[in-house]
Amino acid sequence: MAEEDKQLNIDELMMHNFASTITKSCYANIIMPDIGPVEIDKYTLDNGFMSVDIINYGSTITSIRLPDNDNRQSDIVLGFDDIHGYMSAKNPYFGSIIGRVANRISEASYEYNGFKHYLSKNCGPNTLHGGVRGFDKKIWNAQIVNHNALWMTYTSPDLEEGFPGDLEVIAKYVLTHDNYLVLRITASTNKVTPVNITNHSYFNLAGHETGSEGLYDHDLKIFSNKYTELEQEFMVPTGRVLSVKNTAYDFRKFTSVGDAIKNTEFKGIDINYCFAKDTLKTIARLKHPASGRSLQLYSNQSGVQLYTSNYVENIQGKKGVVYQKHSALCLEPQGYPDAVNIKKFPSPWLYPKDIYEHIIVYKFRVEKLADSENEPEKQEAKGKEEKEEAAS
């Protein structure tokens, strides 16, 4: 059975992986304009092989440390050394939870049942990633549950950034003994509201410090043959769904990230790929052959945004590293962008008494250190790939 075929029991992953531990420490003390003095905490999930740091400012993944083939540890996500970086205007959503609605909403507005809702503008005339102060800029409540799960909660009040209804959000994190980082996001509301929540980690499996040189050496496969077309001025969808064939967006087979970016004249990629919704499936695989590190991404949502950090410029990151264009890539599982305004796109609406659920699973692997019994690297199943593409 190929890696893509492996069925995940999410309840089992979330409840029965006691080999990992979670420790809590103080990350920073800050003053928030609306609530006063606040302690920001850091939670470290560690399974003895890899570890993940998460802070409750923005429910943000600040570090993922993973060995390479030679057992040398590297931090494989972009970020900052301290809270001031995460709170700065130059933070391009490093590692944070994005909401209430990820990606762009055209004209910062939408109509529902004849009523026009106006949202905050923070990207030209549009709303991006939840508005001026989205979930990435909020203090989340955090608790360790059953010693091995981290739960973070945030309640977004009615009309925050213009969105209707109180929205109660829970983000549950588990790092399993076999290197699955599971993120299960649920939400409920008392009014009809659009919801599209994701995580915005920037991955560079060569190490966060290796920049574009490291990123270009990655190979990427995305299990989709369609994408949502964008108009070029403000990067909002036209409503058309197009084939990836004969475009720089074609990752149906493992493709060099560097070659794909080169095919865009080094402008980079920032596009949403289309999937069947509501089934947990492999949506992408990322490999860095030189280090042996790989990432397999699962989601139950209808899209994933591939973004090759095209607008990252002179950002002072961790350990004195200055991040530049194409220093990492994001794979952001999501609903379709601007689905509030394009009726033929999969529905973004959450209704009272219903539950929004987004499951994201990051499966990490190191080629030479993998357990040959538990993590077999077998030939990919052609029939499975065709099935995934047909469902797109």
Q: How far apart are CA 356 and CA 379, in angstroms?
A: 35
Instruction: Could you list the residues known to form a binding site, using ranges.
Output: 103-104, 200-202, 270
Average pLDDT over residues 156-170: 98
- Binding residue numbers for beta-D-galactose: 103-104, 200-202, 270
Letter string b/e over residues 45-54, b meaning 16 or more CB atoms within 10 A of that residue's CB: bbbebbbbbb
Largest CA distance in the chain: 61
Classify residue 387 as exposed, middle or buried by CB count within 10 Å of its CB (0-12, 13-18, 19+). Answer: middle
Question: From the centroid of its chain, how far is CA 92?
Answer: 13
Mean pLDDT throughout 131-140? 97
Judge whether 101 and 340 are in contact, CB under 8 Å.
Answer: yes
pLDDT in tens, 297-325: 999 999 999 999 999 999 999 999 999 99
Among the ranges given (25-39, 238-252, 300-314, 354-368), the one the predictor scored with the smallest mean pLDDT = 25-39
pLDDT tens digit string along 230-263? 998 889 999 999 999 999 999 999 999 999 999 9
- The answer to whether residue 208 scores a pLDDT higher than 80 is yes
pLDDT score for 124: 95
Whether 208 sits among the annotated catalytic residues: the reply is no
**Cα-based torsion angle of the residue sequence 63, 64, 67, 69 in order, rounded to the nearest 10 degrees:** -120
Cα distances from 79 to residues 61, 94, 95, 132, 327, in angstroms, run 8, 6, 7, 20, 11
Selecting among 3, 160, 332, 388, the annotated active-site residue is 332
Q: How confident is the model at residue 170 (pLDDT cuts 50, 70, 90)?
A: very high
Residue with tokens 């429910």: 59
d(C-alpha 59, C-alpha 42), whole Å? 10
> Residues 254-259: contacts with CB within 8 Å, 24+ apart?
254/219, 254/220, 254/221, 254/285, 254/287, 255/219, 255/220, 255/221, 256/216, 256/217, 256/218, 256/219, 257/215, 257/216, 257/217, 257/218, 257/219, 257/220, 257/308, 257/329, 258/215, 258/216, 258/217, 258/218
Terminal Cα-to-Cα distance of the chain (whole angstroms) = 22
Write down the pLDDT at residue 371: 61
The answer, yes or no, to whether residue 374 has pLDDT greater than 60, is no
Q: What is the pLDDT of residue 387?
A: 41
Q: Is the pLDDT of residue 115 over 50?
A: yes
State the pairing for strand pair 36-46/115-118.
unpaired
326 included as an active-site residue: no
pLDDT score, position 232: 85
Ranking 50-59, 285-294, 347-356, 365-374 by mean pLDDT, the lowest is 365-374
Q: How confident is the model at residue 75 (pLDDT cuts 50, 70, 90)?
A: very high
Q: Which domains does the chain have, with CATH numbers?
A: 10-370 (2.70.98.10)
Q: What is the pLDDT of residue 349?
A: 98
**pTM (2 d.p.):** 0.93
CA–CA dist 206, 131 (Å, integer) = 32
In the set 129, 200, 326, 358, the catalytic residue is 200
Evaluate if residue 3 carries a pLDDT over 80.
no
pLDDT for residue 41 is more than 50 = yes
Kindly list the distances between the CA atom of residue 140 and the CA atoms of 6, 225, 231, 295, 326, in Å, as whole numbers in the listed order.
33, 37, 35, 27, 30
